[in-house]
């Protein structure tokens, strides 16, 4: 058996840096690397630095210099790495530099410069992990948990407070998915707009480039991967406006899934919804001014405890004004453990259901009107299924499983995961019918799509 590759390790700084070092060492050992006690027997050296005060910075720079002199192959991590380009200016020969608390970035650099020893079990798993979705689209989870306490929801008590994944880790997963053939990334979380709040928007690294853990920065970086990027569960905070120009410029899909849940201020307050004080109609109009083709999807709850007929009508008026493209609506249903169950004025089941039906009837007309504007247009679609009768595909306006589809006639030559250009022939309240645009080979279409 080949000898395990050896990594030397120098750990400087405070207890937080020590914990980071322990994390890196644990991972190195778990992946089969050996830890070398001397520079000369190591295949490369990781130096975890401190940048707290001048003397600590100097000590770190000296340690990097010593490792370069004794070994020559050095990866730098830790607080000094986060201080601009001071490491590279002093020691241009270092292999990679990351900031503190950057386990994934350090491991990526180690893998790049000292390949991981072969593990007959772990190596059976593809780099993008095991996916349950079709090969051409994948969900990209950017955080877990939620800091809000909506009264109808028990997710925070099940999954805890918001815990965002480091941006470098998210970007590497996205990159691996794209390398494995994924053409559409569906960004999910409980609250995508809050991404990075818990990390204090900490800077991470992707491809050696610093990136902040913020929704706008993440959307921009994902937009560079050349695939469809679709944002789900975005709450209408003012900073969401930053991603709309990315949609207008074609960097990410002009699609936003914003769970408004209601339109009445009083009900939204009772629900304790995030951004309940925002002027949502004003925001929607502003988004459409910047990106006229944006598809807006939302969900609502009808028959929340205490909802009056007047407040429900307010919601219907909102829908008529907002003309959202896609809407889902649930009749309020008490979840065991949810605070809303204690609110006075619970409505009978029939009233909740009747309101849900009224809402959906109204919305069907609105959705049908919105979809009709596509008739006669040529659009790009991503093919999901093919049968003898034709193909089922989706446009930028259709998220898998929850939105409508585009039925393409006579398209048996297409394969799932193909891009296609289609001319829209007709529409209903949910779906479009289309035919392939003649003379556009799949190859040329695919080239344009990437
Ligand atoms: S419904 Fe509210 S509390 Fe539940 S996950 Fe969404 S934002 Fe968080």
Look at residue 84 in the predicted model and tell me its pLDDT. Answer: 58
What pLDDT is stored for residue 108 in this prediction?
A: 87
Of the candidates 183, 226, 133, 131, the one whose C-alpha atom is nearest the C-alpha of residue 381 is 183
Burial class (CB in 10 A: 0-12, 13-18, 19+), 325: buried
> Residue 368 CB: number of other CB atoms within 10 A?
13
* The model's pTM: 0.77
In the predicted structure, residue 133 carries a pLDDT above the cut 90: no
| H helices present in 83-237, as ranges | 86-90, 103-113, 155-159, 167-179, 215-222
Confidence tier at 389 by pLDDT (50, 70, 90): confident
pLDDT for 449 equals: 32
Residue 211 has pLDDT above 80, yes or no: yes
Half-sphere exposure of 273 (CA within 13 A, CB side): 28
Whether residue 7 contacts residue 36, with contact meaning beta carbons closer than 8 Å, is answered with yes
Binding site membership of 192 for ligand 1 (Cβ less than 6 Å): no
What's the pLDDT at 125? 66
The pLDDT of residue 447: 32
Q: Is the pLDDT of residue 316 over 50?
A: yes
- Separation between Cα atoms, residue 381 and residue 397, nearest integer Å: 10
- Residue of 145, 146, 157, 328 best suited for mutating to test ligand 1, as the one with most atoms within 8 Å of CB: 146
Residue 124's pLDDT is what?
64
For the ranges 5-14, 25-34, 288-297, 384-393, the maximum mean pLDDT occurs at 288-297
**Mean pLDDT of the region 157-177:** 91
For residues 387 and 427, the model is more confident at: 427
Model confidence at 450, in pLDDT bands (50, 70, 90)? Answer: very low
| Ligand 1 pocket check for 150: Cβ under 6 Å | yes
Q: Which secondary-structure segment (H or E) carries 379?
A: strand 378-387
Average pLDDT on 41-54 reads: 87
Q: Tell me the average pLDDT across 199-211.
A: 89
Closest ligand 1 atom to residue 153 Cα is 4
For the chain, report the end-to-end CA distance as a whole number of angstroms: 43
Q: Is 141 helix (H, G, I), strand (E, B) or coil?
A: strand
Provide the mean pLDDT of the chain: 89
E-only strand ranges, 22-119? 34-36, 44-49, 74-78, 96-97
User: Of the given ranges (98-102, 218-222, 377-381), which has the lowest mean pLDDT?
Assistant: 98-102
Q: Is residue 40 scored above 90 in pLDDT?
A: no
* Residue of minimum CA distance from atom 2 in ligand 1: 150
Per-residue tokens: 303: 């028959």
Task: Choose between 448 and 427: higher pLDDT.
Answer: 427
């Amino acid at each position: 058996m080949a000898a395990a590759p050896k990594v030397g390790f120098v750990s400087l700084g405070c207890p937080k840096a020590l914990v980071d070092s322990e994390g890196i060492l644990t991972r190195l050992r778990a992946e089969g690397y050996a830890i070398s006690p001397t520079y000369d027997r190591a295949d490369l050296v990781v130096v975890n630095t401190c940048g707290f005060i001048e003397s600590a910075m100097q000590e770190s720079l000296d340690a990097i210099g010593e490792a370069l002199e004794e070994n020559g192959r050095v990866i730098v991590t830790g607080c000094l790495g986060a201080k601009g380009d001071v490491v590279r200016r002093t020691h241009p020969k270092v292999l990679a530099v990351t900031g503190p608390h950057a386990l994934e970035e350090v491991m990526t650099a180690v893998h790049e410069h000292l390949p991981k020893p072969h593990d007959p079990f772990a190596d059976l798993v593809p780099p993008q992990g095991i996916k349950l979705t079709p090969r051409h689209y994948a969900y990209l989870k950017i955080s877990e948990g939620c800091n809000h306490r909506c009264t109808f929801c028990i997710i925070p008590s099940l999954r805890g407070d918001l815990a965002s994944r480091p941006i470098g880790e998210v970007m590497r997963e996205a990159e691996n998915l794209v390398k494995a053939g994924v053409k559409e990334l569906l960004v999910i979380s409980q609250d995508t707009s809050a991404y990075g709040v818990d990390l204090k928007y900490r800077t991470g690294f992707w491809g050696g480039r610093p990136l902040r853990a913020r929704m706008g920065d993440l959307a921009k970086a994902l937009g560079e991967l050349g695939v469809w990027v679709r944002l789900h569960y975005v709450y209408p905070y003012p900073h969401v406006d930053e991603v709309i120009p990315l949609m207008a410029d074609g960097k990410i899909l002009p699609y936003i899934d914003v769970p408004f849940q209601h339109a009445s201020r009083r009900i939204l307050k009772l629900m304790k919804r995030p951004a309940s004080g925002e002027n949502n109609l004003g925001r929607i109009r502003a988004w459409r001014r910047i990106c006229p083709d944006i598809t807006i999807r939302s969900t609502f709850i009808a028959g929340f405890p205490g909802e009056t007929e007047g407040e429900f009508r307010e919601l219907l008026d909102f829908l008529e004004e907002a003309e959202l493209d896609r809407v889902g609506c649930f009749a309020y249903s008490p979840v065991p453990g949810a605070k809303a169950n204690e609110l006075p004025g619970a409505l009978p089941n029939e009233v909740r259901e009747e309101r849900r039906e009224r809402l959906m009837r109204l919305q069907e007309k609105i959705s049908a009107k919105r979809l009709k504007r596509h008739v006669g247009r040529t659009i790009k679609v991503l093919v999901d299924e093919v049968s003898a009768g034709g193909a089922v595909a989706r446009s930028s306006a259709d998220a898998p499983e929850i939105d409508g589809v585009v039925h393409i006639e006579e398209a048996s030559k297409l394969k799932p995961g193909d891009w296609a250009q289609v001319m829209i022939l007709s529409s209903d309240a949910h779906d479009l019918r289309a035919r392939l645009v003649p003379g556009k080979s799949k190859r040329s279409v695919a080239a344009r799509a990437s």
